[in-house]
């Protein structure tokens, strides 16, 4: 009742805000942007032009005095003592504008021909944009450059990558990344990102939350559907501010190109990926997205289908130390095939200037999934073979097909041009179920048939309100976020005496946050924030009440950042940024269930209801000079959650479950990114190293004290990502690259082989606007993209070699008709909680 009351109260505030905002919209003054030179850049239809470059040139020698990039609403401000000279406004796809300032404006109006300014490619039209006095706002209109859009050679004047107050922003439009394929392909080649064991990661920060135009991505296939030529920029945030959940360590924000015009549009994407080592490894994918825009209303919908497969072949050696020594040597073959379908629909309504209201529904269903695993084990006790066992397991959907559904309703806008409001309500629900059947055949002991069934359901309600207001030379942001989650899990097993489980998890999260950021001339940009979270958590198991528990958490999470520019003389300016943030990581609900899951006769698995959240402190430093970026990240984590394995009883059974380690874990990532361009050849090279410091006091019955220090230090992992792109006339693009990772420690694992993923692609764009794209690409062409691991749990050790069906070729087709990217502006609430579910 308390949670419902809070949501109802927030909803009433939301309705009142929308009504009052609509009334105030008609009489609000023009937005005010602070600075000596301030204004707004728009196109010929009056729509804002985001990310345009604005620079002030000195009158004497045309040297760049200072510059900036327009915000998403087209506004900019430049603080400088220069009162005379020329302002240059440039954006790919538009004609460059040269605007005289101060005395230059008067002299230019008297003799415009004498003061004509030309570029290396063409003569630019010069026009004064009204009175440029410091107290008035400039309105600068850019004209579309049709010659440029048809493929004329241009020289990009904007930097490819720049530092923001939170991370690095890379411009995609106009770069070779524009034709990289899907958004997933773009992220794989974005500075600060790397392909890790679990997919795309922010270097040193793990898997990020991804937002597209402020909308949280909950369906990973959305990154496949979004095409690279629709992306304006990608911002990799290594220091998420106070408005993000304290569990979020990294964020990727994707901005798409703003499309103009009303009418119907659609995009069609189709691809087929075939493994070269496994005949069944065929992954077709198809997506259709449509959009209809009329006036201030934007209606959109989409559906996609995907088949996902993976084969794993492994050789394992395990040793368990107790009263007796148990050794297990064998091989594993695992084959997974799944079919999923997803859909979405929504509407965005522009009530008035700077006032937006909308809603969106997303749904997904696992049509089928089958995971077949065959394990052959030879088991020894004190050197004598005691079992020769073959286990065949089949995992599939339970009695009902798993599904998930989510909904978002939002309002955002500006009241009187200054007071920003962003309110979101979210719902997320899911049901899942797995039926697992195992047949064990033993040549030396007994056979067995095991069947288990698990069913679960989740519900989440969330509300988030963010307010902003300009103060002095910056902006104050504050707000609140509430998340209410419920989870039920039921687990039964037959064929072996293990307890069933009927668990209920409840978690309520109340958060408040505030931050302030400002730009101080000649000093730099400063920002600081604070977030407070209060969490009530309860776990109840109807079958095993001894596992029941309740906890309350109350924590503060500060963050701060500073960025500036250093003038290095002829070498050019150097951008610098330093960040600090305190974060936490809460265990996923699957890790909180104490039910013991049966994997095989000698391996069992469970969660751990006693897990405590992690707490970490992050410090990062970034420096950018021309096309070179240096990044240093350092993280200390207390109560780190690691998967741990230990003997269960004295018959060779091992129980795998997550544990909090008592010693701190310290990690560092240092890397350089180089992005030079020579003619049609663009290089994107990242090289770095990731050392860690971790010592664990692990139980070991072989030691007199019963404890042994296991160290995961001294062998850092070196990595490199080398991508080369050749873009030539006729819409052709050729790519070759590779990702490499050396031997070294990662958490409590030792990677004992060199990982190398060789990739190549060829792509051709068709039609005048390039709306039809055909692409052929290959991955893991050398078949060396796999990780072999060793690990030491004290009383249990594992050695495992793996081969995956990742060597593949992929053909894709993409067609866009009158593409109009949805204007959806919902930012969502409870993003991290959805991921935990």
Nearest to 51 by CA among 31, 69, 67, 66: 69
Nearest to 406 by CA among 394, 391, 424, 393: 424
**Higher pLDDT among residues 324 and 128, named by residue:** 324
From 340-344, 365-369, 700-704, the region with the lowest mean pLDDT: 700-704
pLDDT in tens, 131-140: 333 335 788 9
**Higher pLDDT among residues 33 and 765, named by residue:** 765
Q: HSE (CB half, 13 Å, CA atoms) of 227?
A: 28
Helices (H) and strands (E) in the chain, counts: 6, 50
Which tokens belong to 14?
């939301």
In the chain, what percentage of residues exceed pLDDT 70? 83
| Cα end-to-end distance, the chain, whole Å | 22
- Looking at residue 614, its pLDDT comes to 94
Nearest to 606 by CA among 618, 617, 619, 590: 590
DSSP state of 818: S
**Higher pLDDT among residues 317 and 132, named by residue:** 317
CB atoms within 10 A of CB 438: 22
pLDDT in tens, 458-497: 999 999 999 999 998 889 999 999 999 999 989 899 999 8
- Say yes or no to pLDDT of 456 above 60: yes
- Looking at residue 833, its pLDDT comes to 58
Residues 6+ apart with CB under 8 A from 251: 166, 167, 208, 209, 210, 211, 237, 240, 244
- Looking at residue 196, its pLDDT comes to 66
- Looking at residue 14, its pLDDT comes to 43
Q: Which residue reads 């050197």 in tokens?
A: 383
- Looking at residue 197, its pLDDT comes to 59
Nearest to 138 by CA among 82, 70, 63, 81: 70
CA distance 610 to 639: 12
Which tokens belong to 50?
């985001």
DSSP state of 571: G
DSSP state of 106: H
Identify the bridge partners of residue 411 per DSSP, sorted by sequence position. 357, 423
**Higher pLDDT among residues 413 and 128, named by residue:** 413
- Local structure of 15: helix, strand or coil: helix
Q: What is the mean pLDDT of residues 514-539?
A: 92
- Looking at residue 520, its pLDDT comes to 87
Q: Residues 216, 481: contact at Cβ < 8 Å?
A: no
744 phi, psi to nearest 5 deg: 160, 175
From 151-155, 191-195, 581-585, 689-693, the region with the lowest mean pLDDT: 151-155
Identify the bridge partners of residue 292 per DSSP, sorted by sequence position. 264, 299
**Higher pLDDT among residues 816 and 282, named by residue:** 282
- Say yes or no to pLDDT of 149 above 50: no
The total number of residues shown for the chain amounts to: 837
Nearest to 387 by CA among 396, 400, 399, 377: 377
Which tokens belong to 667?
């990690």
- Looking at residue 513, its pLDDT comes to 97
Q: Residues 627, 618: contact at Cβ < 8 Å?
A: no
Helix (H) or strand (E) holding 212: strand 209-212
- Looking at residue 296, its pLDDT comes to 82
In angstroms and rounded to an integer, the radius of gyration of the C-alpha atoms of the chain is: 29
CA distance 562 to 716: 29
- Local structure of 205: helix, strand or coil: coil
**Higher pLDDT among residues 260 and 658, named by residue:** 658
- Looking at residue 34, its pLDDT comes to 36
- Looking at residue 112, its pLDDT comes to 36
DSSP state of 705: T
From 146-160, 551-565, 610-624, 641-655, the region with the lowest mean pLDDT: 146-160
CA distance 84 to 105: 8
**Higher pLDDT among residues 440 and 267, named by residue:** 440
With bands split at pLDDT 50, 70 and 90, how would you rate the model's confidence at 30? very low
Q: What is the mean pLDDT of residues 539-553?
A: 86
- Say yes or no to pLDDT of 661 above 90: yes
pLDDT in tens, 82-102: 667 788 888 766 788 888 876
With bands split at pLDDT 50, 70 and 90, how would you rate the model's confidence at 832? low
Which tokens belong to 685?
């090279």
Q: Calculate ∠ Cα 185-188-192, nearest 5°.
A: 145
Residues 6+ apart with CB under 8 A from 86: 56, 57, 59, 62, 98, 99, 100, 101, 104, 117
With bands split at pLDDT 50, 70 and 90, how would you rate the model's confidence at 10? very low
**Higher pLDDT among residues 165 and 392, named by residue:** 392
CB atoms within 10 A of CB 372: 14
- Say yes or no to pLDDT of 776 above 70: yes
Ranges assigned E (strand) in 767-823: 772-779, 789-792, 796-804, 808-817
Q: Residues 831, 209: contact at Cβ < 8 Å?
A: yes
Q: What is the mean pLDDT of residues 675-702?
A: 92
Nearest to 474 by CA among 548, 525, 541: 525
Q: What is the mean pLDDT of residues 757-785?
A: 93
Which tokens belong to 688?
């770095």
With bands split at pLDDT 50, 70 and 90, how would you rate the model's confidence at 666? very high
CA distance 804 to 528: 45
- Looking at residue 32, its pLDDT comes to 35
From 42-56, 669-683, 765-779, the region with the lowest mean pLDDT: 42-56
Q: Residues 226, 217: contact at Cβ < 8 Å?
A: no
Q: What is the mean pLDDT of residues 239-250?
A: 86
Which H, E and C letters describe 409-477, residue by residue?
Answer: EEEEEEECCCEEEEEEEEEEEEEEEEEEEEEEEECCCCCEEEEEEEEEEEEEEEEEEEEEEEECCEEEE
- Looking at residue 72, its pLDDT comes to 64
Chain-centroid distance, C-alpha 71: 22
Q: What is the mean pLDDT of residues 27-51?
A: 63
- Local structure of 272: helix, strand or coil: strand
């Amino acid at each position: 009742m308390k949670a419902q009351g809070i949501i109802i109260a927030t909803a009433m505030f939301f309705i009142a805000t929308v009504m009052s905002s609509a009334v105030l919209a008609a009489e609000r003054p023009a937005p005010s942007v602070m600075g000596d030179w301030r204004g707004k850049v728009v196109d010929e239809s009056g729509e804002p032009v985001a990310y345009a470059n604005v620079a002030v040139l000195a009158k004497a020698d045309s040297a760049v005095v200072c510059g900036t990039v327009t915000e998403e609403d087209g506004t900019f401000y430049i603080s400088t003592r220069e009162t005379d000279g020329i302002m240059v406004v440039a954006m790919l796809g538009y004609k460059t504008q040269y605007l005289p300032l101060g005395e230059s404006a008067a002299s230019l109006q008297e003799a415009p021909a004498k003061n004509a300014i030309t570029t290396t490619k063409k003569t630019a039209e010069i026009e004064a944009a009204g009175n440029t006095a410091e107290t008035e706002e400039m309105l600068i209109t850019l004209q579309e450059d049709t010659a440029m859009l048809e493929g004329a050679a241009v020289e990009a004047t904007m930097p490819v990558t720049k530092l923001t107050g939170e991370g690095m922003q890379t411009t995609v439009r106009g770069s070779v990344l524009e034709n990289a394929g899907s958004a997933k392909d773009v992220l794989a080649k974005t500075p600060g990102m790397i392909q890790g064991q679990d997919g795309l990661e922010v270097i040193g920060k793990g898997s990020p939350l991804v937002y597209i135009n402020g909308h949280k991505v909950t369906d990973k296939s959305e990154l496949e559907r979004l095409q690279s030529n629709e992306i304006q920029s990608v911002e990799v945030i290594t220091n998420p501010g106070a408005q993000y959940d304290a569990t979020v360590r990294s964020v990727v924000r994707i901005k798409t190109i703003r499309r103009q015009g009303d009418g119907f549009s659609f995009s069609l994407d189709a691809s087929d990926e075939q493994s070269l080592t496994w005949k069944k490894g065929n992954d077709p994918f198809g997506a259709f997205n449509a959009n209809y825009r009329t006036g201030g209303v934007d209606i959109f919908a989409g559906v996609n289908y995907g088949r996902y497969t993976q084969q794993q072949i492994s050789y394992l050696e395990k040793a368990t130390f107790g009263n007796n020594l148990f050794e297990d040597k064998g091989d594993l073959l695992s084959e997974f095939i799944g079919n999923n379908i997803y859909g979405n629909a929504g509407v965005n309504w522009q009530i008035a200037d700077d006032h937006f209201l909308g809603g969106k529904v997303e749904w997904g269903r696992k049509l089928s999934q089958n995971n077949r695993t065959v394990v052959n084990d030879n088991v020894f006790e004190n050197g004598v073979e005691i079992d020769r066992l073959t286990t065949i397991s089949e995992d599939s959907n339970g009695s009902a097909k798993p599904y998930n559904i989510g909904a978002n309703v939002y309002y955002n806008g500006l009241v009187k041009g200054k007071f920003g409001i962003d309110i979101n309500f979210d719902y997320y629900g899911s049901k899942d179920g797995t039926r697992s059947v195992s047949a064990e055949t033993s040549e030396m002991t007994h056979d067995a048939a095991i069947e288990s069934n698990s069913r679960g359901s989740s519900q989440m309600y969330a509300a988030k309100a963010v307010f902003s207001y300009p103060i002095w030379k910056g902006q104050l942001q504050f707000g609140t976020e509430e998340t209410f989650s419920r989870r039920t899990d039921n687990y039964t097993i037959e064929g072996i005496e293990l307890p069933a489980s009927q668990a209920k998890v409840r978690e309520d999260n109340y958060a408040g946050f505030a931050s302030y950021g400002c730009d101080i001339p000649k000093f730099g940009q400063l920002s600081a924030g604070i977030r407070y979270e209060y969490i009530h958590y309860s776990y109840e198991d109807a079958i095993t009440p001894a596992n029941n528990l309740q906890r309350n958490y109350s924590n503060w999470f500060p963050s701060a950042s500073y960025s500036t520019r250093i003038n290095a003389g002829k070498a050019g300016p150097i951008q610098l940024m330093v960040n600090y943030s305190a974060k936490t990581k809460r265990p996923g609900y699957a890790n909180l269930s104490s039910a013991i899951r049966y994997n095989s006769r000698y391996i069992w698995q469970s969660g751990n209801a006693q897990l405590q959240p992690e707490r970490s402190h992050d410090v990062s430093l970034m420096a950018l000079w021309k096309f070179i970026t240096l990044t240093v990240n350092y993280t200390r984590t207390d109560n780190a959650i690691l998967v741990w394995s230990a003997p269960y009883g004295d018959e060779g059974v091992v129980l795998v479950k997550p544990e909090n380690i008592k010693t701190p874990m310290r990690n560092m990532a240092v890397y350089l990114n180089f992005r030079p361009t020579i003619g049609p050849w663009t290089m994107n090279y990242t090289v770095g190293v990731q050392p860690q410091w971790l010592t664990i006091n692990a139980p070991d019955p072989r030691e007199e004290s019963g404890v042994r220090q296991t160290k995961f230090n001294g062998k850092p992992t070196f990595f490199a990502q080398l991508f080369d792109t050749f873009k030539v006339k006729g819409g052709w693009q050729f790519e070759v690259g590779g990702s490499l990772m050396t031997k070294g420690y990662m958490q409590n694992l030792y990677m004992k082989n060199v990982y190398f993923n060789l990739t190549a692609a060829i792509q051709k764009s068709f039609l005048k606007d390039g709306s039809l794209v055909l692409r052929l690409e290959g991955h893991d062409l050398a078949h060396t993209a796999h990780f072999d691991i060793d690990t030491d749990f004290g009383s249990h050790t594992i050695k495992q070699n793996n081969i995956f069906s990742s060597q593949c070729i992929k053909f894709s087709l993409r067609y866009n008709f009158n593409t109009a990217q949805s204007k959806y502006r919902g930012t969502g609430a409870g993003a991290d909680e959805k991921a935990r579910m």
